[in-house]
Amino acid sequence: MTMHVVCLCAAWCGTCRDYLPVFTALAEAQAGWRTHWVDVEDFEAALDEADITTFPMILIANSEGTLCFAGPVTPQPGMLQRLCDAARQGSLRLGDAEAATWQPLLEALQIRRSVA
């Protein structure tokens, strides 16, 4: 099951710089994850409607491309692992209105929803 895990960060953010090796190590250890390290300043237009309150911010889309999580996380390996495990099990769901807010970014990253 391929999942997309997006980490929204900023080059100027010290917490993000500290989190990069953690995110990278987890990504390398997980088969079936497609990871995206995204500097928000590179995707300003796609994030115009998004409410980013703090960094790092994680988005998780399941294998169908449906966004099931969007929120800030503590920069610890266990937190991201638990979120991804819950997403893989189908335990996370994001409301349609909130998911729509992030759709321009998902499209910019070429994460598409499957159409049945």
Give the model's pLDDT for residue 69. 93
CB–CB of 70/116 below 8 Å? no
Give the model's pLDDT for residue 1. 62
Give the model's pLDDT for residue 7. 92
- Sorted by where each begins, the domain ranges of the chain are 3-108
What fold, for 3-108?
Answer: Glutaredoxin (3.40.30)
CB–CB of 23/67 below 8 Å? no
* Token pair belonging to 62: 């399941």
User: Which residues are CB-contacts of 66 (< 8 A; sequence separation ≥ 6)?
Assistant: 99, 113
Give me the tens of pLDDT residue by residue for the chain, a chain 116 residues long. 688 899 999 999 999 999 999 899 888 888 778 888 998 888 887 887 787 888 889 999 987 888 999 998 888 878 888 988 898 888 998 888 888 888 888 888 877 554 33
Give the model's pLDDT for residue 112. 55
Give just the sign of the alpha carbon dihedral 72, 74, 77, 80. negative
The position carrying tokens 């010290």 is 14
